A and B are shown apart, each in its own frame.
Chain A
Amino acid sequence: MKAIVKISNLSKTYNTGDQALKNIDLEIYEGEILALLGPNGAGKTTLISTICGIVSASSGSVTVAGHDIVSGYRITRDLIGLVPQELTLGAFDTVWNTVSFSRGLFGKKPNPAYIEQLLKDLSLYDKKNNALMTLSGGMKRRVLIAKALSHEPRILFLDEPTAGVDVELRRDMWRLVRGLQESGVTIILTTHYIEEAEEIADRVGIISNGELVLVGDKKTLMHELGKKQLILDLKHPIVDIPESLAKYALEISDDGNQLTYTYDTHSTRTGITALLQSLNEAGLSMKDLKTRQTSLEEIFVNLVRSQA
């Protein structure tokens, strides 16, 4: 796959002394959906802002479609659309005017037909003459998306697009994102919600404390780092785990009805057979058993915890 954005050794220290980014190396592939995950203050917004030209890097470089973002800013910025995290919009402007304004800023000739279609796609068309301050938060989010798409960018950054957004808008948004991807647009989004990354992204990057801890294909990531759990429902509740089962590091539920065994899918021996035999020997009988894959969330929490 071809990299459309190349970030090399990028660092950012704010005037306040906060080091928000530490030697980030990342390639973003053309046409992919990349989700950046990370806790508050991890540096996600700083990373995006640097690529878009809002924050200047302290060291390192970024190229977009082969052009440096500083020396070739006209070309790189032309390719990029940004939906910021905060709902920063004017008050008195109308929806139509603000979206047309954005298109003009990016040097594109007015194209009312395109803007009309864009507003229709985002269910904003009937609000086109409304003043921005009369819109709800979710609608403002849509307006920001329309502004970001107004100049037909090839790369779209969405900084926490689903913060404060209801289920329906979220579904609309994912539909839009998939549609954009089909038309060849590369999409980078940040989120706190792991399910979101799991649902929409092709690749996932995890940022913590200004470092890119991990980046990889979503499926591989979950497979490689994922632990599986075997959940055993007992016929009769127990109070303590018998001595003979200590080596399996089982977890017991509060009511004593359920035992959980965690194992690594990649090790040659999962230990399941032995465990079942030991359970049998200890005289415990089971009602049911099931397995469960660790979610990205757990991977994420583990990683961030080990970072700290």
Chain B
Amino acid sequence: MNFQAIRVIYKFEMLRAWNTLLQSIASPVISTSLYFVVFGAAIGSRIEQVEGVPYGLFIVPGLVMLSLLTQSIANASFGIFFPKFTGQIYEVLSAPISFFEIIVGYVGAAASKSLILGTIILITANLFVDLEVAHPVWMVTFLILTCISFSLFGFIIGLWATNFEKLQLIPMLIITPLVFLGGSFYSVNMLPPVWQTVTLFNPVLYLISGFRWSFFEVADVGVGISLMMITIFLLSCLLLVWWMFKSGYRLKQ
């Protein structure tokens, strides 16, 4: 195992965020605050409660997931796409590193950054509402699983993308709609029956539902199903990335 290589890749990727520290911290704090002002205060004053939870509280897990998903993907995809784009990847390819070590370095760093981001958002949210977590262990488990899976997914996108447009394509056209329609800001029960069924095909719903359950013990679907879905997603990503490296996909000519 080439631990030094993992260490330097991880450190390099973390340093990249450190160099833009203000942006890394300020942007989640500001956007979370904005969501609270718009959804929590303005709309929340009319909705008041969803399934027995005050609306301001209800949206917290969704907000966290929204940022985690988009940031994990953005971070991890850029982390591997950029050296590929500039040609600096030659160094990683010519070093005595296995694909597993490359993933641990890049995805580990992206997931760590997301985890920090999630914590910052939770702290910010706590300034607006009184957060109580019913199942802290489950909450952290969901948080970590999400960070890892979606960083891995972002890594795959970064490997697959051949230009900046493709890099943005999947996050913009698929992920963002899925998160917004996955019950970030509402309960599925508030939808007409047809749309409830449609929503069940949205994988992000299971994530948000499970995560929300760890806070308030209210969920759209069973927490077991949520856990299973995210595990399946993680395993699929692992399988895909394993195949990509095995075949030298878009990395080696």
Contacts and interface: CB of A to CB of B under 8 A. Distances in A.
Contacts of B207: none
A158 to B, nearest CB: 14
Interface string B91-106: 1111111000000000
Interface stretch (A84-92, A169-177, A224-232): A84-92
Interface string B153-190: 00000000000000000000000000000000000000
Contacts of B90: 49, 54, 82, 84, 88
A107 B4 contact: yes
A80 interface: yes
A55 interface: yes
Interface string A62-90: 00000000000111011010101010111
A236 interface: no
A89 B253 CA distance: 20
A109 to B, nearest CB: 7
A125 interface: no
Contacts of A80: 94
A96 to B, nearest CB: 13
A260 interface: no
Nearest to A88: B87
B94 A52 contact: yes
Interface stretch (A28-36, A98-106, A237-245, A281-289): A98-106
B24 to A, nearest CB: 15
A240 to B, nearest CB: 57
Nearest to A100: B8
A183 interface: no
Given A15-B253, A77-B96, A105-B9, A89 B4 contact: no
Given A54-B93, A92-B19, A101 B8 contact: yes
Contact of A74 (B88, B94, B96, B248): B96
A56 B252 contact: yes
Report whether over half of chain B's contact residues are helix, strand or loop; otherwise say mixed: helix
Contacts of A53: 93-94
A266 interface: no
A106 to B, nearest CB: 5
B138 interface: no
A114 interface: no
B252 A104 contact: no
Interface in B216-253: 248, 252-253
B5 A104 contact: yes
B31 interface: no
A88 B86 contact: yes
Contacts of B96: 73-75, 77-78, 106-107
Given A73-B96, A77-B94, A77-B95, A90 B88 contact: yes
Q: Which size bracket describes the interface of B in this complex? A: 20 to 34
Q: Which size bracket describes the interface of A in this complex? A: 20 to 34
Nearest to A87: B87
A37 B15 CA distance: 41
A105 B91 contact: yes
Contact of B91 (A78, A97, A108, A147): A147
Interface in B82-129: 86-88, 90-97
A108 B4 CA distance: 7
Nearest to B82: A90
B192 to A, nearest CB: 50
B4 A54 contact: no
Contacts of A109: 4
B35 interface: no
B221 to A, nearest CB: 44
B12 interface: yes
Contacts of B253: 14-15, 54-56
Contacts of A102: 91
A77 B8 CA distance: 17
19 contacts: A49-B90, A52-B93, A54-B93, A54-B94, A55-B252, A55-B253, A77-B94, A77-B96, A78-B96, A84-B90, A97-B12, A100-B8, A101-B8, A102-B91, A104-B8, A105-B5, A106-B96, A107-B4, A107-B5
Interface of A: 14-15, 49, 52-56, 73-75, 77-78, 80, 82, 84, 86, 88-90, 92, 97, 100-109, 147
Given A53-B93, A55-B253, 9 more contacts: A52-B93, A54-B93, A54-B253, A56-B248, A77-B95, A100-B8, A101-B12, A103-B8, A104-B4
